[in-house]
Structure 1
Amino acid sequence: MATRRGILKLVGGGCVLAAVGAGGFVAANGPSRSARAPWREAGQETEFRRRALSYAILAPNPHNRQPWLVRLDGDDALTLYCDLDRRLPATDPHDRQIVIGHGAFLELLALAAAEDGYATEITPFPDGEDMATLDTRPVAHVRFIAGGAEPNPLFAFVLARHTNRQPFEARDVDADALAAVLSSGNVQGVTAGGCGNDALAASLRDLTWRAHSVEMTTAYTNQESVDLMRIGAREVAANPDGLVLEGPVIGLGRLVGIVSREAMADPASDMSKQGMAMFHAAAMSARAFAWLGNSGTTRASQVSAGRAYMRLVLAAEREGLKVHPWSQSLQEYPEMADLYREVHDLIGEGRRLQMLVRVGYAKPVVAAPRWPMATHLIA
């Protein structure tokens, strides 16, 4: 809830808004259209690998870091690397989540290539791996095989799929729809689990909220998110990645000094408290959960988890469901250790949990910003 001083600032801002023209202010502070251009341009490339890549860059990935670098090899292959400057050292110290994001990229690449009849032979970490950290070695090598694949019906939902962080509707997820979603996640040696609105879901609502609270109240993990916050359409257009705060209300809050990175970094600030309240409402609205697990012993298993997750979220869109990752409890920094053990004891069943998401019904949201495809290509 805003303080009296904050309310007075907003009233003052309203006077400014009236002076400059409400219509112009709203238009200037709406979601950046240029930052979403890759969603509109997907599929327009003429060369088949570039065409597949124009879809692959739309894959979900942690904190929207888009850590993909691609070298085109010869006429029928490519090599995928991690942009090492786009990792999340605080919340993802061993780069597990970043590798999962690469897996989602590779699965979407494969689905897009299949639309043109190309099979993809994907070799994860062809030059070896380090489970403690990523390095300059490639994440994967991909060879395209003409005439080796048929289109997959899940591809039809690629452009409609968006991570939905809003509170979900107060209705239970259809059991058959959830089962269909989980079935799509049982690929690549990954096991998908889930639950509807039952006692287990209640336990997961509580656990995931406690994990979210740990991340937001631990100074260095919260600061990682603050540093990646893009506030307002201008910042989003200049750096179309990271976490996004857009819209007229954000623009007005920034204008009058309520919305700032300094406030986000201070858990005692009104802005931080309001943000926590909004996320709490979203967490408590979860009527169903889904999770993915596998051996977790190799980098290839993390790639597989990302590939399975890509299929799971596309299947959710097919079933009219929305998905929001809530995997803080799976992270591996010291302050999360107790909740990491708790969530694995609760639903791990001896596997390494790779993703934990809430599933439900919600109104569509705007697409996340994306860097243009050309920025991911190594010359």
Structure 2
Amino acid sequence: MSAALGGAPPSPAAAQIERPRPTIRVRHLSHRFGALDVLKDVTFDVGPGEIFGFIGPNGAGKTTTIRVMATLLEPMAGRVEIDGVDVTIDPAAVRRSIGYMPDHAGVYDRITVREYLEFFADAFRVPSLDVVDAVLELTDLGKIQDRIVATMSKGMKQRLQLGRILLHDPKVLILDEPASDLDPRARIEIRDLLLELRSLGKTIFLSSHILTELSDVCTSIGILEKGRLVVAGPIGEIAARLEAVRAAQAHGHAPPRHGAAPGAYGPQAHGHAPPRHGPEAATPDGAPVDPAAVDRAQAGAPPPGYGQHPPHAAAPASAGQAAYPALSQISRRKVKVRVLGDPEAAAFLVRGGPGITDVDIVAGAVHVGYVGTDVKIAEIVQHLVRSGVGVIGVEPERNELERIFLEVTQGEVQ
């Protein structure tokens, strides 16, 4: 199956040695319809093997961006590259690299599922029809391959559309509202299919204004409002930057977000620079971030002196670090752990551990606040199991994407 529809995603070790070239690269993209500027200097990257969620209200400019990426619309300004190829210089090469599924795409109703896929396989000049069998298996349509398309549900038709764009084994999938108008079961099935496609090495660009359908699948996001990119990057990094802003505001070191100057979130907030990573990253005020501190936070390790001093007894920061918050505020998250037996005993075992910020019991579940990544969740579960506590459920905080969206947007439309 993987041989027919793509290889494995890049390994984490290789990504750490050298940052790969972005699969999708958008720079200073602008477009106008009449007197309306629908896109204003939009800049972002999508790395290989990512599921990138493009978020924004209706009319924000999401579909216009997608149409430019799909070579259906030429930008008035800026540059878009798909797998290193400029969409305006060689659109034919770009089309061979992408699978594009527009919102509310129609299907041919009076043929069977297999006939539909064989027709498009021929249109794509696929050398062997064996790929049709692979697509039927991947999309779970094999059992209904002889059914007339008109008799299928909306969810199955969406699966068929996904199957169609996979026939020529594209490297990049561009999906405009793929779960719109689907019932809950169909949404779950589409989500699971997207995760499977990512495991096959596909890079997926997914637009939506429904946050719940993105929160469980996206590795990175971009939020668009009134044609401007408000913020873009990995969800965890964006959340950490917002935590830094909140902490800086709490100490009087940053202006209010919604009344701030356009640069309150840095150049990336308005499409003037790619997301900042590594040593060149900075706090919202522009002060440099200590790379070692960030590495400790991402690894889930406590800051130096953790557990030795009260939280407010630390030495004063230097002038260059004044706006940077305490490490425990950079990547603080929550996880809900359900256990067999007494939750109080489980809470006692977790409380006070490295990277643990708070522990509460709510409705019989242990809610643990922690600093770090998913590695810390694994450590918590491993510690409980080794201590003889049966863990029956682990549920990370699910509202992070909603919180980010509400925090960085102002609810304005064009």
TM-score normalised to the size of structure 1? 0.26
Whichever structure has more strand as a proportion of its residues is: 2
Higher RCO, 1 or 2 (CA under 8 Å, sep at least 6)? 1
